[in-house]
């Protein structure tokens, strides 16, 4: 196969090279390494050597012509090879100008109709940067595009930043609030695994009632937490500039993952609502949150927050306190787990309650007492079942 | 820098590869009364390379056994002993003589655990040599490790340094499967640091980066590690940073270790002293080409012995196997 003489890339930002002077002519016998022509860039003048031994043929770049780097400007024919119709000279406009200029200048290589040569890494990099291999000048063997060529080429076009994600207003608010809470609130955490047999039974019986078919575990927990907060007003309080402000109402926020970030709509006066009312309010708020239709009033005034990741298969976790509130409940999934009952290991549905507190408002003992009340309610919600 | 310095870093001693193998054998003989050595000239002569000097004096002629010149016979005896509770080390003086024990290795040792449904195991170690340029002519200069690596059921270790030679020998003896361990006969006097560990056992199947680099990976086995390091020095003179990775064992093969390095540099030369056609380098190159395909910036290149009998003529023999210069040229051609 004829060996292409390529206009080389001699500098990092070089796009073209000017043919200054051909040192050898069409049909000359050349040895590998013989100087063939002089090329000038904006910085240097260099001699281009024959890439192989044979006969110089198909010279397609005239003296004084600027040629894109990577383009074949002649071929060296091995012994016995004939110039092909596709060789550089044949594809180039005739020197005497008799022919009309072709509308499209085809890349003067017998590879022009084939897949452009490129290393696997170069192809992958080009694809990642949204580049076409045939737009990139190759510096590898036979003009193959190698990784360095793609990397040199990429800065020219502003490549799409593949790793950047949009930060919308909802996400920004979440980022700021969680960062401030994590930096300012002295957190501590309590964990307790509780049996969920009766909670499950409660939900099943509620769901048999007309209008309550869609009551969720979260709804039940809102109801239970609201009752527990009534008994433990300190957990329902707020840290405010060195003072602890109690809250008259029990307003429970629900952490809802919307497409554009976490939002926390609030079920106000949760301790005074019937379960069906909680379920209806929760459904409205979640729908509005996902549709980005929450009104300012829907997200204000929360005194406690519940975050439930049980539906994602999470066993247990510890949420960041939703400041200025004093505490947040992290709810894991309900699963059959081994528990000891009367000295025997048996399988029971359980869930793990995680509580994160602001230690400026609630200390460990007060937090533990709240958790104890809540655990008792989850395990035996009889007093609340209606 | 590399694990090949002849200065002793703290916690190591610099000894020859020959001493390292001797220590490994002596330690295992002391540790486990079921270990014994059998081979031609292993006892009174301590092998022609003097690797086993002193062993018969310490452990006696019943555990370091000079055998008649019958490689298939001693391998068959050792396999039977291995199946019935012993841990024999069979010494095959030249790797070229593996051809004589192929039936015992390939059809018996490699198969017995499988065909007996796990009833028998074969904790057999075959210790032998590879490598050219000792002017030993065509029947004593071959590197036939690819033959063994081709057969499932046989493990193959190719230590390049004294530390690797010691750690892999002890691992081979303790392995419950047949392991063939090849030492390069040109490396017995090569020195290197060996950790002051009174029980140095290396895992089989973990490659070792002998030199870290960025631009091209040279995967090299056995004494080709030194050839690769010489090439890396030459490349460094051109501003090319070469990484040298030694798989240490062909079976099991640390595929991830090789692929990881290839992904890092994007260019790979595989150097192995066996004949290049259908050789170990082909398996290593194919593993890398498939595993690192989208990170490769150049075709994976190989360097092995020319496909000719190893010549006796020193001038010709030196042309037959890879050299630092030839590997340098090959690697340089990949980094443009």
- C-beta of residue A92 within 8 angstroms of C-beta of residue A107: no
Q: Pick the residue of A6, A117, A119 with the most B CBs within 10 A to test the interface with B by mutation.
A: A119
Q: Which of B128, B303, B142, B121 minimizes the C-alpha distance to B219?
A: B303
Summarize pLDDT for B27-72 with one digit per residue, the tens.
Answer: 999 999 999 999 999 999 999 889 999 999 999 999 999 999 999 9
Residues of B in contact with A148 (CB under 8 A): 297
* Contact criterion met (CB below 8 Å) for B134 and B154: no
Please list every residue in chain B whose beta carbon sits closer than 8 Å to the beta carbon of residue A140: 298, 336
Query: Taking CA atoms, what residue in A is nearest to B289?
Result: A120
What's the first-to-final CA gap in chain A, in angstroms? 89
Burial (CB count within 10 angstroms: exposed 0-12, middle 13-18, buried 19+), residue A83? middle
Tell me how close the Cα of A120 comes to any Cα of chain B, in angstroms: 5
Chain A interface, Cβ < 8 Å to B: 119-124, 139-140, 146-148
| B336 neighbourhood in chain A, CB within 8 Å | 139-140, 146
Mutate to test the interface with B, among A9, A51, A117, A120 (most CBs of B within 10 A): A120
Q: Name the residue among B124, B173, B119 with its Cα closest to residue B153.
A: B124
Nearest CB partner across the interface for A139, out of B295, B296, B336: B336
Burial class of A108 by CB neighbour count within 10 A (0 to 12, 13 to 18, 19+)? buried
List of domains in chain B:
13-195 (3.40.50.970), 208-335 (3.40.50.920)
Q: For every one of its 386 residues, what pLDDT tens digit does chain A have, with 9 covering 90 and above? A: 788 898 887 766 677 888 888 999 888 899 888 889 988 766 667 788 888 888 898 888 888 888 888 888 998 988 877 765 444 444 343 344 444 443 333 344 444 456 788 999 999 899 888 888 888 988 888 888 999 999 888 764 555 566 678 787 778 888 888 999 999 999 999 999 999 999 999 899 888 888 788 899 999 999 999 999 999 999 999 988 889 999 999 999 999 988 778 889 999 999 999 888 999 999 999 998 888 888 888 888 999 999 999 989 999 999 999 989 999 999 999 999 999 989 999 999 999 999 999 999 999 999 999 999 999 999 988 766 54
Residues 6 or more apart in contact with residue A279 via CB below 8 angstroms: A212, A214, A215, A216, A219
Lowest-pLDDT choice from A155-159, B128-132, B146-150: A155-159
Contact B297 A139 (CB under 8 A): no
Asked if the peptide bond before residue A324 counts as cis, ω within 30 degrees of 0, the response is: yes
The predicted pLDDT at position A93 comes to: 39
pLDDT recorded at residue B5: 64
Chain length of chain B: 336
Beta-carbon separation of A120 and B336 below 8 A: no
Looking at the complex, report in whole angstroms how far the Cα of residue B260 sits from the nearest Cα belonging to chain A: 15
CB contact under 8 A, A122 and B296: no
Output the six-digit token pair for B300.
């994976």
- Integer CA distances (angstroms), A325 to A14, A236, A246, B13, B321, in order: 61, 7, 11, 65, 76
Q: Which helix (H) or strand (E) holds A240?
A: strand A238-240
Superfamily of segment(s) A169-384: Chloramphenicol acetyltransferase-like domain (3.30.559.10)
Contact list, A139 vs chain B (CB under 8 Å): 336
Write the CATH number of the domain with boundaries A3-84: 2.40.50.100
Could you tell me the strand order of the sheet in which A3-6 lies?
A3-6, A72-77, A54-57, A29-30
pTM beyond 0.80: no
Which tokens sit at B157?
């270790």
Q: For the segment B303-332, what is each residue's pLDDT rounded down to a tens digit?
A: 999 999 999 999 999 999 999 999 999 999
Tokens 């110039």 correspond to A83
Q: What percent of chain B has pLDDT over 90?
A: 95
- B102 burial level (CB within 10 Å; 0-12, 13-18, 19+): middle
Interface contact flag, A124 B294, Cβ < 8 Å: yes
How many A/B residue pairs have CB atoms within 8 Å? Answer: 27
Domain boundaries, chain A: 3-84, 169-384
In B, which residues are within 8 Å of A122 by CB distance?
A: 297
* Helix/strand/coil percentages in chain B, nearest 5: 40, 20, 40
**Residue A36 has what DSSP assignment?**
E
CA distances to B21, B199, B331 from B10, rounded to whole Å, are 21, 17, 34
Tell me whether residues A124 and B295 touch, CB distance under 8 A.
yes
Which has more pLDDT, B170 or B10? B170
* Complex prediction ipTM: 0.72
Chain A residues close to B296, C-beta within 8 Å? 119-121
Q: Which residues of A touch B297 (CB under 8 A)?
A: 119-122, 146-148
CA B192 to chain centre: 16
Interface touch A147/B266, C-beta < 8 Å: yes
The answer to whether the beta carbons of residues A135 and A145 sit under 8 Å apart is no
* Residue A109: predicted pLDDT: 47
For A140, B234, B271, the CA distances from B330, given in Å and listed in that order, are 15, 12, 10
The SS3 of residue A127 is helix
Minimal C-alpha gap between A83 and chain B (Å): 29
Quick check: A122 and B298 CB within 8 A? no
To 10 degrees, what angle do helices A197-207 and A364-379 make? 50
Question: What does the DSSP 8-state code read for residue A298?
Answer: G
pLDDT at residue B195 in the model: 95
CB contact under 8 A, A121 and B297: yes
Q: How confident is the model at residue B182 (pLDDT cuts 50, 70, 90)?
A: very high
Long-range contacts formed by A347-352: CB under 8 A, 24+ apart:
A348/A195, A348/A196, A348/A197, A349/A195, A349/A196, A349/A197, A349/A200, A350/A193, A350/A194, A350/A195, A350/A196, A351/A193, A351/A194, A351/A196, A351/A199, A351/A310, A351/A378, A352/A191, A352/A192, A352/A193, A352/A194, A352/A315, A352/A316
Q: How many residues does chain A have?
A: 386
Q: From CA B256, how far away is CA B278, in angstroms rounded?
A: 22
Antiparallel, parallel or unpaired: β A261-263 and A256-258? antiparallel
Strand B155-157 versus strand B179-184 pairing type: parallel
Q: How far is A154 from chain B (nearest CA, A)?
A: 17
Round the average pLDDT of chain B to a whole number and report it: 95
In Å, how far is A149's CA from the nearest CA of chain B?
11
Determine the residue of chain B that is closest to A119 in CA distance.
B297
- Is residue B140 annotated as part of the catalytic site, yes or no? yes
| CA A328 – CA A257 distance, rounded (Å) | 16
Chain B residues in contact with chain A using a Cβ-Cβ cutoff of 8 Å: 266, 293-298, 336
- B255 touches B284 (CB < 8 A): no
- Strand locations in A288-362, DSSP E? 304-308, 327-331, 335-341, 344-358
How many C-beta atoms lie closer than 10 Å to residue A135's C-beta?
Answer: 12
For B100, residues 6+ apart whose C-beta sits below 8 A from its C-beta are B71, B72
Q: Which of B138, B316, B130, B333 is nearest to B216 (CA)?
A: B333
Would you call A146 and B293 a contact, using CB atoms and an 8 Å cutoff? no
Selecting among B119, B140, B150, B275, the annotated active-site residue is: B140
| Structure confidence at residue A211 (pLDDT) | 79
Helix segments in B182-323, DSSP class H? 224-237, 255-265, 280-291, 314-320
Q: How far apart are CA A316 and CA A338, in angstroms?
A: 16
Smallest Cβ–Cβ distance between B294 and the set A120, A139, A148 belongs to A120
- Cβ B71 vs Cβ B97: under 8 Å: yes
Q: What is the pLDDT of residue B82?
A: 98
Exactly one of A153, A187, A232, A359 is catalytic; which is it?
A: A359
Residue among B257, B202, B234, B246 nearest B330 (CA): B234
Structural tokens at position A270:
């949760």
């Amino acid at each position: 196969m004829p060996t292409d003489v390529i206009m080389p890339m001699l500098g990092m930002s070089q796009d073209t090279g000017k043919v200054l002077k051909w040192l050898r002519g069409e049909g000359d016998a050349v040895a590998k390494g013989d100087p063939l022509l002089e090329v000038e860039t904006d910085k240097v003048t260099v001699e281009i050597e024959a890439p192989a031994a044979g006969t110089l043929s198909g010279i397609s770049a005239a003296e004084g012509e600027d040629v894109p780097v990577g383009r074949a400007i002649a071929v060296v024919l091995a012994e016995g090879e004939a110039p092909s119709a596709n060789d550089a000279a044949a594809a180039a406009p005739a020197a005497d100008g008799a022919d009309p200029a072709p509308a499209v200048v085809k890349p003067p290589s017998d590879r022009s109709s084939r897949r452009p040569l490129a290393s696997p890494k170069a192809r992958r990099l080009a694809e990642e940067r949204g580049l076409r291999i045939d737009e990139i000048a190759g510096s590898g063997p036979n003009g193959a595009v190698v990784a360095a060529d793609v990397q040199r080429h990429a800065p020219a076009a502003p490549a799409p930043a593949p790793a950047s994600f949009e930060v919308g207003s909802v996400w920004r608010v979440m980022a700021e609030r969680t960062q401030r809470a994590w930096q300012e609130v002295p957190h501590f955490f309590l964990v307790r695994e509780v049996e969920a047999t009766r909670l499950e039974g409660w939900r099943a019986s509620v769901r048999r009632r007309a209008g309550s078919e869609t009551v969720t575990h979260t709804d039940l927990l809102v109801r239970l937490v609201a009752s527990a907060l009534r008994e433990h007003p300190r957990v329902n309080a707020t840290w405010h500039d060195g003072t602890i402000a109690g809250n008259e109402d029990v307003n429970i926020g629900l952490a809802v993952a919307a497409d554009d970030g976490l939002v926390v709509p609030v079920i106000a006066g949760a301790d005074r609502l019937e379960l069906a009312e909680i379920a209806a309010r929760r459904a409205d708020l979640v729908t509005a949150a996902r549709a980005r239709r929450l009104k300012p009033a829907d997200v204000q005034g929360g005194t406690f927050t519940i975050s439930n990741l049980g539906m994602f298969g999470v066993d247990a976790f510890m949420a960041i306190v939703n400041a200025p509130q004093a505490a947040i409940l992290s709810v894991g999934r309900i699963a059959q787990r081994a528990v000891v009952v009367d000295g025997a290991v048996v399988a029971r549905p359980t869930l793990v309650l995680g509580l994160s507190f602001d230690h400026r408002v609630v200390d460990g003992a007060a937090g533990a007492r709240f958790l104890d009340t809540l655990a008792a309610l989850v395990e035996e919600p009889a007093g609340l079942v209606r | 820098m590399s694990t090949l310095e002849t200065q002793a870093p703290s916690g190591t001693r610099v000894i020859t590869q020959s001493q390292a193998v001797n220590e490994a054998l002596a330690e295992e003989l002391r540790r486990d009364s079921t270990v014994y050595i059998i081979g031609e000239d292993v006892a009174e002569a301590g092998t022609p390379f003097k690797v086993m000097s002193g062993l018969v004096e310490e452990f006696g002629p019943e555990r370091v056994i000079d055998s008649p010149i019958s490689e298939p016979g001693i391998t068959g005896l050792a396999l039977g002993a291995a199946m019935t509770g012993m841990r024999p080390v069979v010494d095959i003086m030249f790797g070229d003589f593996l051809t004589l024990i192929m039936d015992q290795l390939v059809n018996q040792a490699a198969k017995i655990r499988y065909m007996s449904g796990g009833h028998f195991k074969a904790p057999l170690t075959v210790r032998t040599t590879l490598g050219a340029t000792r002017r030993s002519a065509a029947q004593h200069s071959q590197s036939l490790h690819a033959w063994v690596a081709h057969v499932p059921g046989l493990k193959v270790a190719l230590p390049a340094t004294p530390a690797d030679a010691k750690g892999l020998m002890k691992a081979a003896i303790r392995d419950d499967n047949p392991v063939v361990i090849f030492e390069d006969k040109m490396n017995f006097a090569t020195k290197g640091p060996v950790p002051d560990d009174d029980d140095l056992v290396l895992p089989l199947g973990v490659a070792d980066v002998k030199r870290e680099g960025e631009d091209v990976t040279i995967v090299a086995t056995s004494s080709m590690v030194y050839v690769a390091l010489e090439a890396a020095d030459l490349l460094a003179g051109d501003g090319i940073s070469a990484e040298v990775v030694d798989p240490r064992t062909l079976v099991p093969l640390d595929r991830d270790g090789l692929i990881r390095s290839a992904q890092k540099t994007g260019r790979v030369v595989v150097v192995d002293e066996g004949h290049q056609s259908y050789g170990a380098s082909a398996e290593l190159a194919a593993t890398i080409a498939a595993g690192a395909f989208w990170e490769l910036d150049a075709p994976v290149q190989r360097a092995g012995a020319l496909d000719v009998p190893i010549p006796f003529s020193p001038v010709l023999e030196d042309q037959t196997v890879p050299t630092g210069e030839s590997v340098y040229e090959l690697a340089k051609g990949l980094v443009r």
